[in-house]
Amino acid sequence: MNVGVTPPERQTNLRLNDGRSLAWSEWGPANGLPVLFCTGAAMSGSLGFGADALADLGLRLLAIDRPGLGASTPHPEKTFASWVEDVRQLVTALGPRDATAVGFSQGSPFALALAGRGLVKAVALVSGQDDLAWPSLAPRLHPDVAGMVRAARQDPAGFEQSFSRMATWDGLWQLILGMSGERDRALYLSDAFGPAYQRALREGFSQGPQGYARDLVNALGPWLVEPEHITVPVDLWYGGADTSTVHSPDFGATLARRLPHATHFLEPQEGGSILWTRARDILVRLRSRATAPAASPHGS
């Protein structure tokens, strides 16, 4: 299966105002419209998507290593607000081009934070982690996920420390495989994809587990901007065969209703790997959003 996974075409970094380094991997034309990729849990930016579609669409994919992951310097008190400030400096360095964002899995609230602070013109959330503490979702959560949400909200520092002591890249890889359905496992274990995914996880843990643990606490805590206040268009993409318990328990339906300008796609035969199996469709939609004069009405 060709899912557009190739090694990064370019890898670079930006020295931030406080002296830290923000690193990212790139694919596509250097003068293309920027697409800021907010990766999944503990992933570096070395695993991209849709590489075979970027040149045709005139898009430049930048997969960012969040602070503490990959080659980006840790932030001692990383929050959604500090993430937005880091990316604001990157967007400024890129020049006056309309940027968009893609959030995969745990990267979704990070992508929405960029939208809520006006850094991107449109967002695609793909197999996105929902706002898991939203009350109406509580009855649908897997008991393990509900317990994790409670622990992270009640004692964020303690939860982060405890998680840091036990998290490893291989343990996370095994967890991903264990939560995946047959369609996703077939892709994740394939020779063309599995090594690249594992490499991204190894790189994500290269500075230790603290960056991942901090991201998890942030993702399970209060989001920077409530979805109801996000004014840019958001496409939500979910696969009906996605069996992960840490994405959305209702495949994004509740989150789509909370977003003022959302279009919700639920593809019954796809899994959580829809980011790779439907990459061109996702990017085509996102490009149309970036070049549209105004936000579209609420979809379903």
d(CA 115, CA 105): 16
SS3 173: helix
Residue 300's identity, in one-letter code, is: S
Bridge partners of residue 264, in order along the sequence: 236
Continuous H helices in 22-155: 51-57, 80-94, 108-116, 143-154
181, 91 contact by CB (below 8 A): no
Q: pLDDT value at position 277?
A: 96
Residue 294: the pLDDT is 55
Closest C-alpha to 253, from 240, 272, 244 = 240
14: three-class secondary structure by DSSP: strand
Please report, to the nearest 10 degrees, the dihedral formed by the alpha carbons of residues 109, 85, 35, 119 taken in order. Answer: 90
Domains of the chain: 10-291 (3.40.50.1820)
How far apart CA 2 and CA 4 sit, in angstroms, is 6
Please report, for residues 57, 112, 173, 222, the alpha-carbon distance to residue 50 in angstroms, rounded to integers and kept in the order given.
Answer: 10, 21, 22, 31
pLDDT attached to residue 274: 98
pLDDT of residue 126: 98
Smallest Cα–Cα separation from 128: which of 152, 102, 151?
Answer: 102
Mean pLDDT by 10 residues, the chain (300 residues): 85 98 98 97 98 97 98 96 98 92 98 97 98 93 95 95 95 97 96 96 98 97 96 97 95 97 98 97 95 55
Residue 277 DSSP class: H
pTM above 0.75, yes or no: yes
**Mapping DSSP to helix (H, G, I), strand (E, B) and coil, where does residue 100 land?**
strand
Is the Cβ–Cβ distance between 107 and 69 less than 8 Å?
A: no
pLDDT score at 85: 98
Residue 190 has φ and ψ, to the nearest 5°, of -75, 150
**Cβ–Cβ < 8 Å for 290, 239:** no
